[in-house]
Amino acid sequence: MPTNTILLAGRPVHRLGFGAMQLPGPGVFGPPTDRSIALAVLRQAVESGVDHIDTAQFYGPDVANELIHEALHPYPKELVLVSKVGAARDERGGWIPAQRPEELREGVESNLASLELDQVPVVNLRRLPETDVPFVEQLDTMNALRDEGLIGAVGLSNLAIDDYQTARSHTEVACVQNAYNLTGRTEQALFDACRADGVPFVPFFPLGSAFFPENPVLRSPAAQDTASRLGVTPAQVALAWLLAQAPTVLLIPGTSSLLHLEENLAARELVLDEEARVLLDQAAG
């Protein structure tokens, strides 16, 4: 298998995919600022070789999935859609937990309906630390949904490393999605465990969080200096650095801009030299 691809739930996908989180309005709430551009971004992503899109019913809510459906349905056979369950939104856009087994099932059913799928290829269980629902009970629910054919594989998100080890003994883990980027490496132990196990690691906020204007990744002197020397953008440097960390890294940078989409996808071709790698490896915040 080429080094620019990885197996996700048994299906080969390119290691640079697309995250739909930024397609809805500000705060991942409400309709997009420009619907036509949001649809164009999705279509251009797939035309440019993206075959893995990460989404969630609670992005909007309902907005990201609806845009994906309008832009891409009927879906290309090689496209792997990955969604997640475990959260919901209130009427003001606040994030609220939806961790109980019946809520996980409802979340999967909502994704099936809005995406018009018989099966969601991968669904991530987004674990919230404040939940009182036993983790094993959640895993049992996800396994049941997989066994019923409603989801193709079980992924995990926002979990501690001890939960990861528990999950590995209860289910086949398709992927792990936790925060990890050039300047934020608090999840290094989990990253290393996934790499050792050959489990795809999908860093969320690979370019830093859009919720915070003072973005430490793109403002990193190491990223900026390397970008200037190589004639690329700090975002491209940060994405290329992540891809270089392990062959199991699968990226989902999101954007609502056609220009930024093009720039992000160009990181597939960027090879960092030794000087860049040494400098960037030291850039953790």
| Residues 227 and 270 sit within 8 Å (Cβ to Cβ) | no
Mean pLDDT rounded to a whole number for the chain: 95
How far is it, in rounded angstroms, from Cα 259 to Cα 102? 41
Complete DSSP assignment for 125-190: EE--TT--S-HHHHHHHHHHHHHTTSBS-EEEES--HHHHHHHHTTS-EEEEE-B--SS--TTHHH
pLDDT at 173 over 90: yes
Instruction: Categorize the per-residue pLDDT at 2 as very low, low, confident or very high, splitting at 50, 70 and 90.
Output: very low
Written as one string, the DSSP assignment of 242-276 is HHHH-TTB-B--B-S-HHHHHHHHHGGG----HHH
Q: What is the pLDDT of residues 244-262, one digit of tens each?
A: 999 999 999 999 999 999 9
Q: Are 6 and 72 in contact (CB under 8 A)?
A: no
Can you give the pLDDT at residue 209?
74
The pair of three-digit structure tokens given for residue 22, joined into one six-digit string: 């930024």
Q: Is 180 a catalytic residue?
A: no
Q: Annotated catalytic residue: which of 59, 75, 164, 180?
A: 59
The domain spans of the chain are 12-281
Q: What class has domain 12-281?
A: alpha beta
Per-residue confidence at 192, pLDDT binned at 50, 70, 90? very high
Contact 218, 249 (CB under 8 A): no
**Cis, bond preceding 213 (omega within 30 deg of 0):** no
Side chain identity at residue 124, one-letter code: N
Structure tokens of 259?
A: 């220009």
Average pLDDT over residues 130-154: 97
User: Please, which pLDDT band fits residue 210 given cuts at 50, 70 and 90?
Assistant: low
What are the tens digits of pLDDT across the range 211-225? 666 789 999 999 999
Position 129 scores a pLDDT of 83
pLDDT digits (tens, 9 = 90+) for 68-111: 999 999 999 999 999 999 999 999 999 999 999 999 999 999 99
CA dihedral sign, ordered 160, 127, 154, 133? positive
